[in-house]
Chain A
Amino acid sequence: MTMQEIIPTCSVDIFDFHGGIHPEEHKTDSNQQPIRLLGLPPKLILPLKQHIGAASKLHVEVGQKVLKGQKLADADGPFSVALHAPTSGSVVAIDDQLIAHPSGQTDCCISLIPDGEDKWCELHPCEDYQQLSASEIQTKVSEAGIAGMGGAGFPTAIKLAPSNLTNIDTLILNAAECEPYITADDRLLQERAGDVVAGLDILIQVLGVHQCLIGIEDNKPEAIQALRKALAGKNIRLCVMPTKYPSGGEKQLIKLLTNKEVPSGRIPADIGIVCQNVATVAAIYRAVRFGEPLISRVTTLTGEQIAERGNVEVLLGTPIDWMLKQVNYQSAKVERLIMGGPMMGFTLLHSDVPVVKTTNCILAPGPKELPLAPPAQACIRCGLCADACPAELLPQQLYWFSRAEEYEKAEHHNLFDCIECGACSYVCPSAIPLVQYYRHSKGMIKQQRENQLKSDQARERFEARQQRLERELAEKAAKRKQRAEAAAKAQAAKLAEAEKEPNPAVNSVPKAVIQEAIDRVSAKQTLAAEKVDLAELKLAWDKAQAKLDKMFDALDDAKANNPEQVDKLKRAVEKNQMRVNQAKTAWQKAEKEQLSQESALSQTNSAEIAQASVAKGKEKPDLAALALALEKAQSKLVKMEDALAQAADDQKEKLTRAVDKNKVRVEAAKETLEEAKQQANIDSRDQADGGKS
């Protein structure tokens, strides 16, 4: 990739942005001495997340010896950067530690005890870095762990590969450093302007831009001088702007240098602009040229409580209290440590938190230097805040809306275009902490949005479940119906076959089938009565047989003793023989008849069952209705419980009773449904059986 031809910009006009303020600068407090090296602290604490995005992925173990510049953690995806050991030593702990955050929260940190040797790992310098491709440079920047060092900590590699790279035509170096007190970039430019300009060359090459602008406030004459020298012969435009806070705000700087505005809710890349911070650009150069990862930074230590005010080059992870000790920090009666400047910096809750990639200043103001704000008076709508607002908002309107918790109105008044620069609070004659109100409102609105999203999702889930349940019920019902129909059909077909010969009419008319069944039942009943007769017949036959046997004995006896009576007896025996035969045939006949009737009856039974199951199928819609009723009752109960949770004390009792009542209802509905379901199961099983038989 060759160097792009840079077209010099025709205009060097500096435009203006609305509002802005001129707070006391206090720049000379700290920009008179050269950058000092602060040396090795006894312990380094390295948070895994020193940037915006995903925390770095751990690469080392407790107890491991590491060399200076060795990677401790990898970038976890593109929206993350790597982390390196600022010096050689051993990892003694990987655990949650306090970090520099307005809320005083903890985060996962690597604790490193330096071994004092400060021994570098192997680096990969690149002398002809001009020959590197854009993606190679992006990889180097990402691997070097570079994130925006101006304060936000945006992973720099992402800015080198914007999605609309072809539309990027302007690179802006933000050297405004508009916050009072901070002089880290000022000093860096004075001493290392060459690194910065070389870094700009790399960025111009990667982004392929046609225009490169440097925005710097006119209160840094030495830095401007150094830049002029370093820029000699280069087509990079140095734009010296009048000092006005917040000219270093990205949006304001873009307006100042290009007269373009970043559309609300968008980023500079959307209008073809990429902004970079001075320290970041210098770090990019060091990473690409020398392979040095980001392990230290220049930080301003200033404020009346610090005796040796100035800029120091400090290793990342250096505890702030150790650092303050090195510069003769005097603790004040009312102690305040501000990370960042007096306008947008935040107060630290603990002084033992470490320096991170975004720590550009530690301000320890004296009690009279930055006095605490007096108690807020009533807003008199003087409009000074609106005059000062660089976003051209109406701060006092936003304040009234925030106070009244009219968040919707605040949003319509573009609350989210507020950059929290603090200009409104600074000018407010009633000393109202306006920015604090806006932060609160923004937080509330974000929370409301999240809650809304959650409740929307919950509703969608509930509705989807409801639909699924209904669908399943309907499907079940349809299946059951189908099965029942199939069973009925099969049965009917069977019947028709069975009764084709005796009575074909039975097949076609179900009523006849039923009639037939009823007839069979009554036949069965009569058969039961006949069964008794059958036993009687058998008894009669047995009796007759026994009598006959006796008569044969008597006849034999008479043949031997009384011959006169033989004939008489013979006739009686014959007579009796006839009776026995009669009884026997009667019994046999009766028995045969009964058997045939029984077999006929058993055939009709299954038809009856099928008929009954058809009738039962009609109950299924009731089951669905019951389920629906249960759901309704349950959702009502949930609503009532919610109402109960939010209710005032005096209403609670009433609501509790109502909820209890409803609970009972839900239970009842559940039971009903369960019973119905069981019934339905039995029925369907019966049907299945019926269908099979």
Chain B
Amino acid sequence: MPDQNWVLIAQQQIPYSNPTSAVQFQNLNSSTATSEAGVTVTLNASNAPVYRMFAKYTIHTSSAISNTQGYSYIYSTSQHDHAQEWNGENQNTYLYSNNQTTGASNASYYTTGTYWGYGAQSNQYSMYGWGAQITDDAGVVVEPYDRRRQGQNVGCWEFYSTEQMYPVHSHWTMICTEGIQDGSNQTSSQKWGGYELGSGGSNQSYSTNEFYWQCSYNVSGTFLFYRSCNGNYQKNE
């Protein structure tokens, strides 16, 4: 078997019944893993230079998400040396299910962190495009706004260890649902999906010891934090 180069150093499950507005990972540089020799080692710039978080999350509102209402940064807001965001379609991210066009560009330029709100979508609609009530196989009536029928946002954030000095972080988020915010089921309604791509650099003294992620609304979901390794490392064996 080839080397297993990625280890899951942290995961946070935010339950739907107990949502939060922010997710934080602290002391990233204190993470440990077990080497091929069976030795517990601290992951550092040399043996694990890449940090990557995958997230799948539900945003508990029907309100539109503006770009800066989705927000993240590495360690502190002062350590980003510019971040540029690309949002698809008509500069306010809203895709229409009946209309596809070439992305028309929207790049904003930030220095305090990264903003991904235009690549996210609220998930508590009164109606979904496929109809009203349904009855599932167990005979349970499921409303169109039931949590089982809500959309999910996904995203990935990646950055590098302090010492690597790569140009340094990148992220993407996307969503596509049949959720219609206005309660209609018209494909000409907006709020069908969105995406964003972003990247940026860091200042010369940045640290990677924390990662902070925030949404202006309550969020539930799964946040998986990985480190890449230069060998065969394992975690939680």
Q: Are these two chains actual partners, yes or no?
A: no
